[in-house]
Amino acid sequence: MTRLQTKTLRTTPFDAVKYIRTAEDVVDMLNDALESGEAGYIAAILGAIARSEGMTSIAEKSGVKRQALYRSLSEDGNPTLETLLGVLGALDLRLAVKEAEGKAA
């Protein structure tokens, strides 16, 4: 009879910041989050993008206090439109709207 050995699987939380290297990465990640329609996901990705640029710098450019950004741009956060627009402006990004795909004419 053989004895089975169990191995402990170790995991670490996913951190999107590690994968943000270019402006295209920022746009792709943010568009994916916006297309999901999930407020928590959108806030978390925007927070990861802001952290990748430096939260202090984004706070200064957006006019929003750093601690308020951390709170608003978390998975449980709910940023105001003013915060969203301020952070996007600090990142040299802007929102655009398009008609939903699959809509019958």
Task: Give how far Cα 24 sits from Cα of 28, 29, 72, 74, 78, Å.
Answer: 6, 8, 24, 22, 25
User: Number of structural domains, the chain?
Assistant: 1
Note whether residue 15 is domain-resident: no
In a domain? residue 98:
no
- The CA distances from residue 35 to 45, 56, 97, in Å, are 12, 28, 11
Residue 83 lies in a domain: yes
**Tens of pLDDT, residues 17-44:** 888 999 999 999 999 999 999 999 999 9
Q: Look up the domain containing 48 and give its range.
A: 21-90
Q: Using DSSP, state whether 87 is helix, strand or coil.
A: helix
Residue 102 within any structural domain of the chain: no
Note the pLDDT of residue 3. Answer: 65
45 assigned to some structural domain? yes
User: Per residue in 57-82, pLDDT tens?
Assistant: 999 999 999 999 999 999 899 999 99
Q: In the chain, how long is the greatest CA-to-CA distance? A: 68
Q: Which two tokens stand for residue 44?
A: 């978390």
- Identify the band that residue 14 occupies on the pLDDT scale cut at 50, 70 and 90: confident
pLDDT of residue 99 exceeding 90: no
Query: 37 lies in a domain?
Result: yes
Q: Does residue 76 fall inside a structural domain?
A: yes
